[in-house]
């Protein structure tokens, strides 16, 4: 939203910006100011769409995980060691390693920190693996 007014004041501009305006222009303004505001709005919309698309792709990859892989992903990104996860879940440590390897491949994560960023982006918590 680009707010244009002939009689603006500071409180009005603050309210407009808090409500999502990307620019507050008072008349008279230069054409270039309006064009710049439009370009800013388009750039923000493009970035938002790209972020939404990336998050949706991440959710789709997460949906391919088995319940056990999801559980192990949450625990691994919470800092738990394979041995601790195996003890908590009641499976062999080698099985945890297999699940962990599979979930890293399915999530297309190259490292544990990258997987942790994915968990954060999905809004997952150690208490459960529910999507936001």
User: Are residues 73 and 46 located together in one domain of the fold?
Assistant: no
Please measure the distance between the N-terminal and C-terminal CA atoms of the chain and give it in whole angstroms.
Answer: 27
- Tell whether 127 is covered by a domain: no
* pLDDT score of 130 more than 50: no
Tokens read off for 54 = 């990336």
CA–CA distance, 132 with 120 (Å, rounded to integer)? 11
Instruction: Report yes or no: 99 and 72 within 8 Å, Cβ to Cβ.
Output: yes
Structure tokens at 69: 């892989």
Q: Please tell me whether residues 72 and 96 are part of one structural domain.
A: yes
CATH classification of the domain holding 77:
1.10.10.10
Q: Which domain holds residue 11?
A: 2-54
5-31 tens-digit pLDDT: 888 888 988 999 999 899 999 899 999
Question: Are residues 78 and 31 part of one domain?
Answer: no
pLDDT digits 0-9 by tens, 37-84: 999 999 999 999 999 999 999 999 999 999 999 999 999 999 999 999
pLDDT-derived band at 132 (thresholds 50, 70, 90) equals very low
Same domain as 70, residue 26 = no
Closest CA to 108 of 45, 66, 76, 62: 62
Confidence of residue 127 (pLDDT cuts 50, 70, 90): low
Determine the Cα–Cα distance for residues 63 and 131; give it in Å rounded to an integer: 10
Q: Is position 92 within any domain?
A: yes
Q: Are residues 89 and 50 in the same domain?
A: no
Whether 79 is in a domain gets the answer yes
Residues 20 and 43 in one domain: yes
Judgement on whether residues 49 and 74 belong to the same structural domain of the protein: no
Domains in the chain: how many in total? 2
Exposure string (b/e) for 111-130, b if CB count within 10 Å is 16 or more?
Answer: eeeebbebbeebebeeeebe
Could you give the residue ranges of the DSSP H alpha helices within 9-123? 10-18, 31-63, 67-77, 82-89, 93-107, 112-122
């Amino acid at each position: 939203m680009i707010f244009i007014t002939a009689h603006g004041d500071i409180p009005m501009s603050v309210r407009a910006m808090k409500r999502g305006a990307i620019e507050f222009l008072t008349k008279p303004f230069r054409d270039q100011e309006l064009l710049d505001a439009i370009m800013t709005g388009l750039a923000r919309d493009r970035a938002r769409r790209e972020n939404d698309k990336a998050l949706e792709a991440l959710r789709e990859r997460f949906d391919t995980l088995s319940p056990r892989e999801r559980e192990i992903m949450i625990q691994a990104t919470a800092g738990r060691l394979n041995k601790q996860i195996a003890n908590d879940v009641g499976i062999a440590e080698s099985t945890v390693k297999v699940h962990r390897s599979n979930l890293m491949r399915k999530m297309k994560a190259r490292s544990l920190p990258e997987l942790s960023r994915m968990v954060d982006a999905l809004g997952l918590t150690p208490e459960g693996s529910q999507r936001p």
